[in-house]
Amino acid sequence: MREDEGFEIDRAFDLLPHVVGASWATIWFRMNRIRSPDAEEFRNKVVEYYKMLDPLVACYSKEEKLEEMARHVRFLYQKELERILKGKNPEIEKRFKRYLDYG
């Protein structure tokens, strides 16, 4: 797969963890009046919502001509899950700190 072929998917995986995962997690904590979750609790909630994207991750797997893209998508998805849980996604960490400060 050429680098430019994965550009849009790569950008999506730059945004999806914090736009989907952190945003929905933040709302969940706010609605449940949990003002001071710990980092692990916040990351796990982000992952819970992020995993709701599973159908998108699986959408290319049925077409042989998209097999390489499907592998790339699954790799990026798994990599982001690991980064979130290890506290290595700076956008998630920024949103966690922001929630603690402004919840």
**Domain spans in the chain, listed from the N-terminal domain onward:** 3-102
> What pLDDT, on a 0 to 100 scale, did the predictor assign at position 20?
94
Tell me if 21 sits within 8 A of 49, measured CB to CB. yes
At 6 the pLDDT is: 84
Q: What is the pLDDT of residue 64?
A: 84
**What residues of the chain score a pLDDT lower than 70?**
1-3
For the whole prediction, is pTM greater than 0.85?
Answer: yes
Q: Round the average pLDDT of the chain to a whole number and report it.
A: 92
Position 55 scores a pLDDT of: 92
Residue 3: what pLDDT?
65
